[in-house]
Amino acid sequence: MILIKLVKNKNKTIKEAYGKYYARPVVTETIGIDELAEHMASHNTPFSKGAIKGLLTDMVSCVKELVLQNKAVKIDNLAIFSIGIINKMGAASIKE
């Protein structure tokens, strides 16, 4: 079951959303690669926790490598990983 909480929008700059309530997910725990490997190993697999952790660790390294080559990596039913850029402010010209 997905847990949610209702949060009132207090951002006055978005007039149509201000004062309305929106559902937000509740995260109860963060699972790391160790815990994920242990969980996966408990699902009647012939692979050990260590083998699964090694595979996941290598996968993370490869996804990072490919994303840094400007490629998007799609893991079906999970996510598409791609590079993101956050600008602090815009430039007045291309030369800036």
Q: What total of structural domains would you count in the chain?
A: 1
Asked if 31 and 9 count as a contact pair (C-beta separation under 8 A), the reply is no
Q: What is the CATH number of the domain that holds 61?
A: 4.10.520
| Confidence label for 96 from pLDDT (cuts 50, 70 and 90) | confident
Which is it for strands 4-8 and 21-25: parallel, antiparallel or unpaired?
Answer: antiparallel
Question: 46: domain range?
Answer: 4-81
Q: What is the pLDDT of residues 73-95, one digit of tens each?
A: 999 999 999 999 999 999 889 98
Query: Is residue 63 situated within a structural domain?
Result: yes
Query: Is residue 10 situated within a structural domain?
Result: yes
Q: Tokens representing 1?
A: 């079951």
Q: Cα separation of 25 and 93, whole Å?
A: 40
Query: Is residue 91 situated within a structural domain?
Result: no
The DSSP output letter for 45 is -
DSSP lists the bridge partners of residue 4 as 25
| Confidence label for 60 from pLDDT (cuts 50, 70 and 90) | very high
pTM (predicted TM-score):
0.75
Q: What is the pLDDT of residues 28-37, one digit of tens each?
A: 999 999 999 9
